[in-house]
Chains A and B, each alone.
Chain A
Amino acid sequence: LAKTTQPISMDSYEGQEVNITCSHNNIATNDYITWYQQFPSQGPRFIIQGYKTKVTNEVASLFIPADRKSSTLSLPRVSLSDTAVYYCLVGLYNQGGKLIFGQGTELSVKP
């Protein structure tokens, strides 16, 4: 299973755009890249998923270069409520979506 590497922590201010990059050098052909958000004392929440190029939804964008060895989660105009831990994962779609969670990136948004 592919392992991921992402920064342990990041700081930002309200209104800024935040980009969190994740490296996954040994991603397999069939792996999807998925990002989750976790608030204290809650289960993780799915944010966005992609396979290649760019995916955008109402809360975030995911940029994946052609070699797929890294990906970047982009959060536009963060607010205090975006303070959370963000996990980058790669998983096998044809084996029950078995996922490996790393330590994640602790994002702190300040006023």
Chain B
Amino acid sequence: NAGVTQTPKFQVLKTGQSMTLQCAQDMNHNSMYWYRQDPGMGLRLIYYSASEGTTDKGEVPNGYNVSRLNKREFSLRLESAAPSQTSVYFCASSLGTFSGRSTEQYFGPGTRLTVT
């Protein structure tokens, strides 16, 4: 039982390049989330998926797109990377929408992205 896994662990991009961050969970959770964390800051929600087939914007969605590929996988895409997107990206999952325990989220190890 691996929990939440993310790939890659590290990535360096040039301005304007695109890439997709992958996330998968094996806990049969319904809800999944993408956050970014800048140095010395708390996490900010980019997008979330309350259940398979649905996605919604969080606090900072501009410059990102997401795909809930199936119940297990939730990917984050940067279409044209900018230096302001240099950050650590965390994926998380939770049991489900219709439960108070949806606030109990399980986080992956993070992807460190640098855009030059």
Contacts and interface: CB of A to CB of B under 8 A. Distances in A.
Interface residues of B, number: 34
A89 interface: yes
A100 B102 contact: no
At the interface, is chain A mostly helix, strand, loop or mixed?
Answer: loop
A34 interface: yes
Contacts of B74: none
Interface residues of A, number: 25
Interface of B: 4, 31, 33, 35, 40-45, 48-51, 56, 58-59, 90, 92, 94, 97-110
Given A93-B100, A96-B50, 10 more contacts: A43-B92, A44-B43, A44-B90, A44-B105, A49-B104, A51-B100, A96-B51, A97-B102, A97-B105, A98-B45
